Chains A and B, each alone.
Chain A
Amino acid sequence: MAIPLNKHYPDGRRYFRPPTVEATIDELLAQDFATACRRAAIADHGSSEYVPSEALVHLIRDARRRNDEAAMNILLPVLLRRCESNLRTKVSSDLPNAEDIREEILGQFSELFAADGVGSNPDQLDFFEAHFNQAFQGLRIDIVRQEDRRTLNRTFLPLPDENEDESNVDESVLKYFQTAPDQESTFDLQRLLDALQMLPPDERRAVELCHILGYDEESEDHNKRTAATICRVTGRTIRNRLRRATARLSSYKELIQ
């Protein structure tokens, strides 16, 4: 049986591998290395011999612990190919230096293996053995958003004329962000997410805090974090920002329909 993971959830429970991953690791550790390499290269997710990325991470870490550089040289590129394939779809080629960003993500990820078991955070790869896709998504987003910061959008959606008929404002437009999209509304949601990036930063932040993360606009409890305390403004200012964001998004939605 593979050694337990050492990282804990914020509530104190240990992270753990999914049972299918544990079972695959047990199988792989009982097989010879040539079989493990052959299985690692299987692309078909439906194959009974397919090796989930979590198990592949475990094998590479096991080789790292044994200082088996030859095994790492064979297995790590297999995992990196999977990651590269993911990054081709997840890191938009619209970004000015998409290739550099993909390289940076792969580079930082591969260094985690070199530093595994040493330093002040020896178990960081535990997260990748528990839920590979989510952990890799976290790593990707952390690197990509630094790039986003440098390429901030400067063209904002227009604010409709205040004298315009208020009945044209679709008050429910922000609710799209809170409900799980069905097939029909996925298209609208994606367009609204694109439009969100075209809001002025203070309005966008109000929408993100209240309608994406679920913060209250304000609270009478002074110890509670709210959109108002995070943005260091009054609740009224947050509401004004939300109202303007609603007007901009609503007129944009009307335009695209």
Chain B
Amino acid sequence: MSYMDPQQMSLSDAKYHLALAKPSPDAELLDEMVRRFPEHAADLTEFAIALALDRLGGTEDETFETSSTEISSAISKAMSRFHNRLYAEKKAALSSSEGSVDNPFASMPRSELRTFARAINANLPFVMKLRDRQIREDTMSEGFKRCVTEALEVPHDVVIAHFSALPEVRVDARFKAERKPDPGAKQTFQEAVRSSGLTPEQQEYLLKL
């Protein structure tokens, strides 16, 4: 598993790069994308050619605002697709939160947790709090959650569901009392950052994400 790989991308990302990275795609940029997705070389090449021809023949690909406020049939249909998809996504999120929530840190040994900590510019105690869901999800910045998602290389909703779930005490954790301790209330993100032995620079970095 690699962490914080900025080069990680999907095929659709590769197409957007071809559209955005240069005024017009060229052999160099296309080769870069083909190296990443050799199995889609033909598709990417056709796409790059179509894009280059479109840019060559067209003027600025400007969008225009119309003064009309009417909702056309095409927009109604698009909104309908939006709502259907939104419903499906919400339903999927709900069923995943009703069932047992996957802990994306669960299978990570201590060495891997340390690597992860370095990737997000934190330390092991802070990552343990993330693993054990001891930090309130609603107090984390969106930037921090995205950073964790990228570093873990799991879907963003899995990370959100994990942080939103009840805190957990690891079954393999050692404790002196006869009973498993109550996991207790969650900390806010800021409290967790301040109380995990992070350096001032690390604290500042994490709080600014």
Contacts and interface: CB of A to CB of B under 8 A. Distances in A.
A123 interface: yes
Contact of A6 (B51, B74, B146): B146
Nearest to B93: A118
Main secondary structure of the interface of A (DSSP, over half): helix
B127 interface: no
Interface stretch (A28-36, A106-114, A166-174, A246-254): A106-114
Nearest to A88: B64
Q: For the complex, would chain B's binding face be called helix, strand, loop or mixed by DSSP majority?
A: helix
Interface stretch (B22-30, B109-117, B191-199): B22-30
A233 interface: no
Interface stretch (B55-63, B118-126, B172-180, B182-190): B55-63
A236 interface: no
Contacts of B26: 213-214
Given A9-B21, A10-B32, A135-B19, A77 B142 contact: no
Contact of B77 (A7, A8, A106): A106
Nearest to B69: A41
Interface string A57-90: 0000000010001001100110011111110011
B63 A138 contact: no
Interface of A: 3-4, 6-10, 12, 14-15, 41-43, 45, 53, 65, 69, 72-73, 76-77, 80-86, 89-90, 99, 102-103, 106-107, 109-111, 113-115, 117-124, 127, 130-138, 141-142, 144-145, 148, 177, 189-190, 193, 196, 208-209, 212-215, 225, 230
Interface of B: 6-7, 9-10, 12-13, 15-21, 25-27, 29-34, 41, 45-58, 60-69, 71-72, 74-75, 77-79, 81-86, 88-89, 92-93, 141-143, 146, 149-150, 155-157
24 contacts: A8-B7, A10-B21, A14-B6, A43-B65, A43-B66, A65-B142, A72-B82, A80-B79, A81-B66, A86-B64, A106-B75, A111-B85, A114-B82, A114-B84, A118-B156, A124-B16, A138-B51, A141-B47, A141-B54, A145-B47, A208-B49, A209-B27, A212-B52, A230-B41
